[in-house]
Structure formats: C-alpha cells, structure tokens
Amino acid sequence: MSSEEAAADVCATCGEAIKGQFVMAFGRKYHESHLVCSECGKALGVGSASVYEHEGRLYCQEDYDRKLMQRCAKCKVEIIGEFFNVFDMPWHKDCLMCSHESCTEVLIGQDIYYESMGVHPYSSDKPIYC
C-alpha cells in the first residue's frame, strides 16, 4: 500500500487507522464517534443537520454561529450578508444611523463623529452623529 493510501485510511481527529465504517467531512475521513464539535463535543454528521469547519476544526451550527459569526457593533446581532466596516467593526446598515433624536440619516459614505466629536474609540453605548 502506498503512503497516500495509508494516509487516506487515518482518522482526521485521532490519527489512528480506520477499520470498517467511517464518515467523510470536508474531504477528510473520521471514525464515526470522532466526528464531533470541537467546542461542545456534540456528535455531528449522521442525523445532524449541519457540520461547519473553520481552520481545520469542526463545529455544530450553534457553536459556529456563537464563536465565528460576526456581530454588529451596535445591536450585537449576527451579521448575515452585507455589512459595513466602520471603526474597524462590522455594522448592519440600519444600525449605522445618526444618534440625534430627530435625525434618520444613515451614516454610510459620510464623515462620522462620535461622542460629540470626541477622540476615544467607539463603543456600543456611545452615540454617533452625522
């Protein structure tokens, strides 16, 4: 058997030889009992709706969302799809609005001032203004 064939029969989690049934995920083989979330240990694959991978680690949907999805700097809700990067943080378009009571200006493509033109870093409890 070539070294490539031998490597193909090794579990990606434990590195031990696979004899008998195995599962495939992201182009790698696993013992059935070793296809688990790297955060919570929940069994993945058979009977499980989703398996996610990031940097070689496997995740269930809940842990992938919790750990890896970007969250809006203002509302802290996960960002799916388009977002804007302001103050080196991701924002939903609707959350990036002027903090003046009577203003509904979306602050995309404008100069933004925060905390009455202060110079401290932004945090979600401080207002931003157009």
- Residue 130 pLDDT: 64
Quick: pLDDT tens for 30-86: 898 899 999 999 888 766 668 888 888 899 888 888 888 888 888 888 888 888 777
Dist. CA 59–CA 39, nearest whole Å: 7
Count of other CB atoms within 10 angstroms of residue 22: 17
- Residue 115 pLDDT: 45
Residue 60 · residue 67 · CB < 8 Å: no
Quick: pLDDT tens for 87-106: 777 888 788 777 667 777 66
The model's pTM = 0.55
